[in-house]
Amino acid sequence: MMINITQLRRFQPVITTTEYLQYAGLPSTLETTSGYWNRSGYHQSPDPFASRGDRTLGKPTLFVIENAWYDPEGVTRVDMIPDTMKRRGGWIPGDANTIQGSRWESRDSDTAQLLLNSLLLDKNVVEWDEARSAVGDLVAQMPESVGASSPNLESDEFIEEVLNQNGWEVLYTFQGA
């Protein structure tokens, strides 16, 4: 996505990180490539926006808004849900004006229930190792449920296929996101 900063500035005050560093008298090489605000690097000089007489008051303050303060509990942010995932999982579109408008159709098979019981303890996201372990438990208890004569529990593709067949989707994220 691209934003026309010049056009945006006609309606909203905007400052880029490079401009902030320039105003603060800091080198532009401090700008991070990841998009994160460098809390220590960007706040090492006197407040560039204070009036000239007040510049000795100290470094600019920083207030951090934690994700949990504006994301409803139990919500995991994703950029988009692919159409193939929507078709496979039975995506039911909802009202875009509500937090949880859309949803997945429910899966009520014994296999899906067994996976649900072993995966959803008290969280809305399951780590890959936990999912692999749950599929392993499923294969041990109900080998016929996976439809394979020799299930390969070392194969990520096999684990993902079993999860998909039972209403689960794999979300690829950066560690810790």
Radius of gyration of the chain (CA): 24
Q: What's the pLDDT at 177?
A: 43
pTM of the model: 0.50
The DSSP secondary-structure symbol of 91 reads: E
Q: Going by C-beta distance under 8 Å and a sequence separation of 6 or more, which residues neighbour residue 44?
A: 26, 59
pLDDT digits (tens, 9 = 90+) for 120-177: 656 666 778 888 888 888 888 877 766 666 788 889 999 898 888 877 788 776 555 4
- Mean pLDDT rounded to a whole number for the chain: 76
